[in-house]
Amino acid sequence: MLKKITSLLAVILLTLSSIPAAQSAPTLDTLFEPLVADPMEPRIAVMPWLDDDYLQLDIGSSADLYQNDDGTMAFGIDFGTWSLLQRSSNFKFPVDAIDYMFGVNFSMKQQLEESPLPFDEFSARIRLSHISAHFEDGHYDEEAGEWMHEEACPFGIPFTYSREFINILLALSAEDYRVYLGYQYLWHTIPDEINRHSLQAGVELSTPGNTYLAADFKLLPVWDNDLEKTDSFKGTWNLQAGWRLTAIGAENVRIAYNYFNGMSRHGMYFYNDESYSTLGVIVDL
């Protein structure tokens, strides 16, 4: 595990050292616009569940370290955490589970001139990333001295969850909408009997009054406890409706409603089929 993390950090440092200094000023204004409804996009968000006593707390962002003079190519980094907190009395939020992600990305953008399609821009992003997940103190019963719901986990608790992957996204966009298609391949994973492939697609629409609609769809492998491997796929949806607070000068802040249905986004629960709604605030840096 430490060797893999060290190797990925070495790739980042070697790439950074090859960037011309005059063009390497970091910027959060990334060439590839972050996906609006993808729950695994690095972001800052506070999203309480509406149908259970949980709260999602996301802290992270992507940053371009280099963009060429033409604004058609960029290299950047991604850092993110996705936390699942329990909501309890006295304003306490024990952390049940948390995922950590870091990596590098390469992106490009090209204007479409005289295109027969109803789009005026093509963009793409390739990510090389590491992600790991962990149960925390909120999943541990201190009085009993044992992990909670250990019987529900097919691997026992604690168990190691670690993935290194390449993610490729292609997008077509116009002024008020964008569609995208993606593919992800795991070149290393623990547990190891997991299908290495997953697919992604989505659409984003700007609607009147600084509102928007977005849908993110993933085809993710499903764990079969009897076979002790993934043996099928399930569609996983995240539907989002939101309002950007542009009218009050906070154009980077949006109030968003999400409906999630499918395989859990949290590594410690990757074998779980979940359905829930959230309502909260997302900040786009």
Instruction: Output the domain CATH number for residue 248.
Output: 2.40.230.10
Extended beta strands in 208-272, E state: 211-224, 229-245, 250-263
For residue 227, the one-letter residue type is L
Look up residue 118 and give its two tokens. 């109803």
Element (H, E) at 284: none
CB 35 within 8 A of CB 112: no
The domain total for the chain is 1
**How high is the pLDDT of residue 81?**
97
**How high is the pLDDT of residue 89?**
75
Q: How many residues does the chain have?
A: 285
pTM to 2 decimal places: 0.88
**How high is the pLDDT of residue 169?**
98
**How high is the pLDDT of residue 24?**
58
DSSP 8-state code for residue 33? P
**How high is the pLDDT of residue 160?**
93
CB 102 within 8 A of CB 82: no
Q: Which residues of the chain are under the pLDDT cut of 70?
A: 1-24
Q: CA–CA separation, 179 vs 170, rounded Å?
A: 9
Tell me the Ramachandran region of residue 249: left when phi exceeds 0, alpha when psi lies from -120 to 50, beta otherwise: left
- Which residues form the domain of 162? 2-283
